[in-house]
Structure 1
Amino acid sequence: MNKIEYEIDYNNKIEIVYKTSKPIEIISFANSIRDISNSFQYHVSKELKQVNINSQLFIKEVRAGSVELDLVAYALPLLHIVYEHGILVNWATTLKTTIDFIKTCSKIPEFFDKREEKYIKNIVSPIAQDKSLQLFFNAYNGANVTYNFNINHDDASSIISKTPSIQEDNTENGYMYKQMLKWYQTKFDLKATTGDKAIVESISKKPKKIIFANETIKKSLTSRDDRFEKPWHELAYIVDLEIQFSDQEPILYKILDYYPEDTFDPAE
């Protein structure tokens, strides 16, 4: 990913307030604030793909009955054109929509993003443990509140009850865009779901199992390219991919898209 750094935009921020009449259990609280930041970064990686926006979470104030934090991000030019109220508000509204979706489900669908599910579970966990605790999100542009919502004990308990299978530090997904992929082995069968392995050196020099978002992509990456004399399995491809990790080790690549104009002969 291309890492772009600018000055922190303190004018736009998300104020995060934990309000309670009791002490907060430290581990679940630490996991909650960690995954608020992780959730924002993950949202950015999906929304803006190759751009990585650094963010910081500051503890603003701790006093009897509340802990207040500010989530701010580095400013990027032109983002206000894409997102009317900024990428932070875009993340907050998406988070609220996702939480509302989980609350209305009898069971979280299998297609639901497990990494996002894990982040949300950790964010709301302290609120589920303490009936007196509420979590408030207030988006500011200068002194003006542009968006706000809160999560109460009932909301958090509903979410936790539907995410019993999510394990801390087990398996999660990541995304990378426009990465070079080289074939390692394949069954030369469009319908085969086992045996396909490839190397993405920017992630790991070891071959990993790959699957495809659809058959069209697989057919494109397993067919002769008339621009080259070499067979297709000796070419290098530029792809967008989802990476599945287990214990921080990549174990599976899912090819989401590819860029045929960028295919090349790695020997040249």
Structure 2
Amino acid sequence: MAGDGAHIRIKLATEEPVALNDFVGSFVGIGSQFDKFVARDHPTIKADSEFFVKEVRAGCIEADLVAWVAPIIGGLPGMSAVDMIDRVQILTSFVSDLQERIGNYFKPGGRDPRATKSDLADYHKAVAAIARDPNASGVIEAAVFESDGREVRSAFRFRSIDAQVAQREIAEHRKEIEARLDENQTRVLLRFVRPSVEASKPGKKGGERGVIESIHKRALPVLYASDLAEQRMHHEKLQLAGNIFRALFDVDVNIEAGVSGRPIAYRIMQVHDVLDDAGDETLDL
């Protein structure tokens, strides 16, 4: 145990035997989330955590995650992590954050909007052991040993029914993300904010950026799914008599999404028409 006694304790209370994969997976998933939490919310420090099984008895398993955190840069030799940052506060904040994020999936239709596929895998591991047992419960708490005993700073509990709902919702969320990774939209309006009349290789980013407001409010890179699509767009841009920034291109696109499911680029598959944004009339080409 670290010098300040700060730790995260995980308790698995079950009536049925726990599968070894689920037992290990619970700790792996939560440990992975802790590392990601520190990297995201405390980018100037590095986490190094390790689980210690505290107690195993009939119907209950307890394990403590003890975390050491240290500055990535600027640390002094021999200076402990607690000298640099309040480690207790980090662990307390982590448990509260984990409760909010996993807790979204304890109700039908719940989603963590920030979750990636990797996060969903962690969440699934964290609840698997409890979901298998119809009369089980799990507790995750941040605590510290004080002079007068152990004090819990933050905690949350979930039951079998919560874990079972979470498993279904996590699986559905994964399908939704995977579906968005290869989604096509037809007859949408694209406005260039950084156009180019130079040819580039199909599927390669050539510096063009555009906005399709019905999909995403921000400008994203524009790519082309084929030589034919790029040649048609190239032709239409050269034929424009007016300001290209006022033109709306009626296109079919494939939406490339990141691991979180958010759009990160458009691939033009077909160009149908060009409209003038001022009057929504077809431009003379």
User: The TM-score by the shorter chain falls in which range?
Assistant: 0.5 to 0.7
Corresponding position: 1:23 with 2:26: no
Aligned to 2:158: 151
Q: CA deviation at 1:15?
A: 1.4
TM-score of the aligned structures, taking structure 2 as reference length: 0.54
Deviates more, 1:141-150 or 1:71-80: 71-80
Question: Unpaired segments of 5 or more residues in structure 2?
Answer: 70-80, 179-203, 222-257, 265-285
Give 4+ residue runs of structure 1 displaced > 6 Å after superposition: none
- Residue identity in the other structure for 1:190: R
- Residue identity in the other structure for 2:97: T
- Closer, same or farther in 2 for the Cα pair 1:62/1:10, shift >3 Å? farther
TM-score of the aligned structures, taking structure 1 as reference length: 0.58
Measure the CA separation in 1 of the matches of 2:19 and 2:59.
Answer: 14
Measure the CA separation in 1 of the matches of 2:138 and 2:113.
Answer: 28
Question: Which of the pair has more CA radius of gyration?
Answer: 2
Query: In structure 2, which of residues 167, 171, 182 is the aligned counterpart of residue 160 of structure 1?
Result: 167
Aligned to 2:210: 191
Contact 1:9-1:74 within 8 A present in 2 as well? no
Aligned to 1:122: 125
Measure the CA separation in 2 of the matches of 1:104 and 1:30.
Answer: 25
- Closer, same or farther in 2 for the Cα pair 1:9/1:90, shift >3 Å? farther
- Closer, same or farther in 2 for the Cα pair 1:109/1:24, shift >3 Å? closer
Q: Deviations over 1:227-247 (max 9, x none)?
A: xxxxxxxxxxxxxxxx95xxx
Aligned pairs for 1:1-268 (under 5 A) are 8-9=2-3, 11-75=5-69, 76=81, 77-80=83-86, 85-104=88-107, 106=109, 108=111, 112-142=115-145, 143-164=150-171, 166=174, 186-191=205-210, 215=219
Q: CA deviation at 1:51?
A: 2.5
3-state SS of 1:11 partner: coil
Q: Deviations over 1:163-204 (max 9, x none)?
A: 22549xx9xxxxxxxxxxxxxx741212399xxxxxxxxxxx
3-state SS of 1:162 partner: helix
Measure the CA separation in 2 of the matches of 1:14 and 1:157.
Answer: 23
- Residue identity in the other structure for 1:137: I
Q: Report % sequence identity.
A: 20
Contact 1:10-1:72 within 8 A present in 2 as well? no
Task: Count how many residue pairs are aligned between Structure 1 and Structure 2.
Answer: 183
